[in-house]
Chain A
Amino acid sequence: MELIKKSSLCECVKAKKENLNAIYLAGGTEALRLNSPVKGDSVIPISSLIEKKIEAKGDDIFISSTVTFSELLASSIVPKPLKEACKYLSSRALKNAATIGGNIASLRFDSYLIPTLLAYDAKLVVFSSEEKVCSLKKYVEKGSCSCLIVGILINPLVKVVNKRESLTSSTHAAVTSALSENGYFCAVSNSGIFFSLEQAMSSDIKSDITGSSEYKKYLIKENYEILKEALNG
């Protein structure tokens, strides 16, 4: 693996465009881990280029993309449901390295954070040739992007409930779900990230080691009911 070290975000984005197999590197828990779906032949480090911040911005909270799961858990202003989602990553050593931006950018179908952030209707501050704001939903729908996630904006007042179904604390999840006034969102192993119950139930849900298609569909639906009760309760 090659190291492509740049001194500005602009150069990083340019380098990424020039090196299609390059990946941005922040915490390294996806980019460097064996068996990760995130693969590249070179890495572009970004940690030192993005100042770590968790701060109120109007009604929203701004979280730098390089903030780690541990830092989210330690913050006094990060809402509890997002902290709960951070706990889905059980390993303390990985929590100390994994970043919120990395978890979004890897777009894993067993993502710890994406369903919860979707339920917050999170916005991403991204950098391409310039900084701009886009919705997380659009980013996920698009599927891949050479732009660089700089930060995440969420409205902490949105009531969010979430749930993860995995065999053990450390195995990959079969289904990770979140529900809020913004809708029901779920990441389903080997199948996709979905933006509604209907979309998930009508999709091709694949069987894998986390469970059969039938089981996952059952969970998608049952979790929706469970979360609905929790949201209303």
Chain B
Amino acid sequence: MVSFTLNGKKVSSTLDVMTPLRDVLYSMGLNSVRDSDDREGFAGSDCIIFNDEVRASNLIPLFMAEGAEIFTAESLIKDRKINDVQRAMVAAGVVQSAYNSPTVALILTHLLAHKSDATREDVKDALSSVFIRDAGYEHFYLAVKLVQEERATGSYQTPVSPSFRPNLDVIGKPTGKIDGDSLVRGEKVFVEDKVMPGAYALEVLRSPYAMAYVKDIDTSEAESLEGVEAIVTWKNVPDVYYMSAGQGNPEPSPHDRKLINRKVRHVGDRVAAIVAKDRETCEKAMSLIKVTYEPLPAIFTVEEAMADNAPLVHNGKIEYVVGAPSDLDEQNKSYDERDGKVIYQFPLHGDIRHNIAAGAHGGIGSLEEGFKEADAIVEETYQTSQVQCTPLEPHVCYSLIENGRLTVHASTQVPWHLRRIVATVCGLSENKVHIIKERVGGGYGSKQDILVEDLCAYCTYITGKPIYYRNSRKEEFIANSTRHPMRLTVKMGGKKDGTITAIYMDVRANTGPYGNHCLTVPMNASSKTLPLFAVKNMFYDLNTYYTNIAPTGAYQGYGAPKGYFAIMSALAQLSWKLGLDPLEVAKKNVVEEGYMLEILKGLGEGREGAIVPVGSCGVKQALEEGAKMIKWGEKESSSDPDWAIGKGFAMIQQGSGLPGLDHSNCQVKLLTDGTFLVLSGGADIGTGLDTISAKIVAEQTKISLDKIAVISGDTDSCLFDTGAYASSGTYFSASATLKATEDLVKKMIKEASFQMGEDESDLILRSPGEVYSTKSGKTLSYAKLSHDTLSGTGHGQLVGTGYFVTPNNAIPYGAHFAQVAVNKRTGEVKVMKFYALQDAGTPINPEIALCQMYGAAMKSIGHTLYEGMVLDKDGVCVNANLTDYGTPMIGEAPEDFKAVLIDVNDQYGPYGAKSISEIATNGAAPAIAMAIADATGAWVRSWPITPEKILKAMGKL
């Protein structure tokens, strides 16, 4: 038995003395002590205070805790109240997906206890053990400053963000997230916290080959092992083809996989799934499964996929739900049954016999004419790498049968797509499936895909057992979804006066083994870049290829960061060739409000797009303000001759959901005491969508935020929503909340008119929650209004319902600027300054918006300079862990990092709001690449821009 002091109380544990302390503490109910890296000592979610020092509890075996004094984040709570550091973190907007927020609060509390006047450097050192992916690091400095100010003066002195719309009460004001308190204190809010004792384990036997047929698989010995409940292989999975992307139905992605396939298509592909009483039994059973493979030659790059006689990743039967080509029989003459099927929901210009999963082509004007007019032309090819979303909470699922229905506790961005796909795989109708979206400990696109829930839920369905599944960090890399690697060629022509005369983009994307998002992600490389240019002649060609790399999928920004890397780099190179300033060329050729976006016609996602004018647009303001901030045009010199300094920028845009495709619903109820319950279809994935919903209700009903509760993403309680992807939350889900609230307000006024005997036109809602007659001065509290309408003679509960669809775009714009220092002898790069300026319309949660800009920009800086999965010649990922992969930590954050919200009021978004975070992944790569070229004269056109590549580009290697 090992005894120690835990949060001030003597405790003891009889677990094995080598058990990691993290597991011991979590088993004691201290769920703030989480695990993001399987004992890698990297992410810091497991940090505790151990004998007055910050330590990784995963790296402390239980026996070392004998006599130790240990504190976890639970110790910060006094009288059920969070402490001042936690409050400041919520106020500063850094509590977002929050998987390790309690731990960070603990670390900062410990720091301030030892050094009340902690400096920026002290905070940097304290947070050096913590990986933050969502909010960046900048506002953690602010949170510490707020605590210091409050302790010194009794209140915060530094504004946490600017405020917008002075005529509104909470919209555009930093109020903190409504769930911030729960998240920062470490409540049991994540999927792993919901798992009941007795849950079964699920483990997956994965392919060691990049491509092979499973010739034979013998599970008999494994199945006879005590404790094994079921083993699923290609032989006994349902004959159901689907794909993992959570997209609108019918999806613009081919259905090209079963739960487990006979042909494995990447290292890490599913071969067998074992359900057993615990993980140890699963692992033992796994070792007893005998598999005979027929290895096949594999391909890993677009070039290999394009080659004549390249091995075919999918050589199964092709089917079309609608729009089958006339030569389909010809295409199916030579298919191999072992490959299964590829079922297109509608034509995507795929040609799987040449490894093409999807294609698209389109444009406006005449390239020939455009290039003929040009005084200079550049044509370059850019390569992006395979990067991983790396959410702190890995993909996880807990499924069980409740009241005869399949219940799935999920960490998902798409509860309704998840329900549909799980129901399809299990052969159930949707009324038999209940998805509960728990808090999401980081998604960034990867939880738009159904990567674990399909298998976990199916195993529960066939066994009747509650099952808990969690990806290891290695599985997150090899069997998850990643950013599509792309090869983009951009040809751009321009005149001496700076007019861009033509742009051509050739996009070749690598979708890996399966075709989820194979059209839409690569499309974004063009569809989110070309509409930013007021250029008459623009065309693109896109082809997406199947290969045998680890799976790809959605990642924040979709294909846009790659498109911007190519197109803005080309713009800079063209400008320099013409002897012009790239900033001036950008300003000359950028769209402005009212410009008709003819290019959109050819940029629909598998359908014809609608031509619309540019709406609210703050891009020029962002370019001008950013240029001033970074002193564009002034050459900086370094005092050290080894270092050269350069500057770069990118103008950027994204979208706000998918007009014409996305659909959101919401209900708002007036409860019996006059408070409100919002049932939103929108999936808050840590981004503050629930807070937006609450703010809209508060604004409409003039009631305080604490009188509003939000339930979201529960498929039983809430109404349908396409989900949190494509930057849809604020525009679509929140607009549905607005419509529902407006509906409720109308009903409240009508009922109040009846109860008060007043004309509806004389009644208004006012603070602190009452109906007021402007004619008589009479008031009626919401509580009485609700009570009386629910009495024996009442008219029923007051419930507002709203849905939102739209053909209109609410496009966010922006500009990012970078200043870098490059060591000309070693190739080392330091990002000295990074300024992100974005037009998000009305930022409803401005402090949270700023943090999302920091977080997204940090991700993008990571992709630009450090991150990339590396496969060996056999397709094995050799850096499938956070350390080797290269995720940026606080040490990589720019020395001078600023996020600025450009004040633009949108005509379509709720209260003028547009989306905020995805766009922020678009700027770093082109801005930094341009800055490096400005500093050294050398262009590096592939991610990550490593010191080695810079040295090569400079001719030193």
**Residues of A in contact with B (beta carbons under 8 Å apart):** 1-3, 5, 28-29, 32-35, 43, 45, 47, 70, 90-94, 96-97, 165, 167-172, 208-209, 211-212, 214-215, 218-219, 222-223, 225-226
Contacts and interface: CB of A to CB of B under 8 A. Distances in A.
Nearest to B829: A167
A5 B61 CA distance: 13
Contacts of B889: 90, 168-170
19 contacts: A32-B39, A32-B58, A34-B38, A43-B18, A45-B64, A90-B891, A91-B41, A92-B54, A93-B56, A93-B129, A165-B947, A167-B944, A167-B946, A168-B892, A169-B128, A170-B887, A172-B884, A211-B948, A218-B956
Interface in B40-80: 40-42, 44, 47, 53-56, 58-61, 63-64
Contact of B39 (A34, A47, A97): A34
Nearest to A32: B59
Contacts of B825: 222, 225-226
Given A45-B64, A170-B891, A91 B129 contact: yes
Nearest to A212: B948
B957 interface: yes
A168 B886 contact: yes
A35 B60 CA distance: 16
B735 to A, nearest CB: 40
A94 B129 contact: yes
Contacts of B54: 92-93, 96
Contact of B866 (A5, A28, A43, A167): A167
Given A35-B883, A96-B53, A171-B883, A3 B951 contact: no
A191 to B, nearest CB: 15
Nearest to A163: B826
B68 to A, nearest CB: 12
Interface string B416-437: 0000000000000000000000
Interface in B862-916: 865-866, 870, 878-879, 881, 883-884, 886-889, 891-892
Question: In the complex, which of the residues A35, A93, A226 has the most CB atoms of chain B within 10 Å of its own CB atom?
Answer: A93
Contacts, number: 127
B957 A209 contact: no
A28 B61 contact: yes
B128 A28 contact: no
Nearest to B125: A92
Nearest to B66: A48
By Cβ-Cβ distance, the 5 closest A-B pairs, closest first, are A169-B891, A93-B129, A215-B948, A96-B53, A91-B129
A97 B947 contact: no
Nearest to B62: A3
Contacts of A93: 41, 44, 47, 54-56, 129
A3 B16 CA distance: 10
Question: In the complex, which of the residues A167, A209, A222 has the most CB atoms of chain B within 10 Å of its own CB atom?
Answer: A167
B59 A170 contact: no
Given A29-B41, A93-B54, A165-B947, A3 B957 contact: no
B269 interface: no
A209 B884 contact: yes
B828 interface: yes
B6 interface: no
A3 B128 contact: no
Nearest to B47: A93
B56 A97 contact: yes
Contact of B59 (A28, A209, A222): A28
B187 to A, nearest CB: 24
Contact of A33 (B40, B886, B946): B40
B817 to A, nearest CB: 22
Given A32-B60, A47-B64, A223-B826, 8 more contacts: A28-B59, A28-B60, A34-B38, A43-B18, A167-B865, A168-B891, A171-B866, A218-B957
Given A34-B37, A165-B947, A92 B129 contact: yes
Contacts of B125: 92
B884 A3 contact: no
B17 interface: yes
B785 to A, nearest CB: 54
Interface string B557-591: 00000000000000000000000000000000000
A35 B40 contact: yes
A28 B60 CA distance: 7
A169 B892 contact: yes
Contacts of A5: 63
B826 A92 contact: no
B55 A34 contact: no
Interface in B115-144: 125-129
A169 B890 CA distance: 9
Contacts of A222: 825-826
Contacts of B128: 90-92, 169
Interface in B815-834: 825-826, 828
Nearest to B53: A96
Contacts of A226: 642, 825-826
B18 A171 contact: no
A156 B102 CA distance: 42
B951 A218 contact: yes
A170 to B, nearest CB: 5
Contacts of B61: 1, 3, 28, 32, 43
Nearest to A229: B642
B475 to A, nearest CB: 13
Contacts of B884: 35, 171-172, 209
Given A34-B881, A93-B47, A97-B59, A170 B42 contact: yes
A11 B886 CA distance: 41
Nearest to B944: A167
Contacts of B42: 91, 170
B59 A172 contact: no
Interface string B928-957: 000000000000000010111001000011
Given A29-B59, A92-B125, A93-B47, A165 B883 contact: no
Nearest to A96: B53
A96 B127 CA distance: 13
Nearest to B40: A34
A3 B18 contact: yes
Question: In the complex, which of the residues B40, B42, B884, B948 has the most CB atoms of chain A within 10 Å of its own CB atom?
Answer: B948
A171 B825 CA distance: 21
Contacts of B37: 34
Nearest to B60: A28
A123 to B, nearest CB: 29
A29 B60 CA distance: 9
Contacts of A35: 40, 881, 883-884
Contacts of A219: 826
A165 B18 contact: no
A3 B17 contact: yes
Nearest to B881: A35
Contacts of B887: 168, 170
Contacts of B870: 209
A2 B957 CA distance: 48
Given A28-B61, A92-B126, A93-B129, A165 B41 contact: no
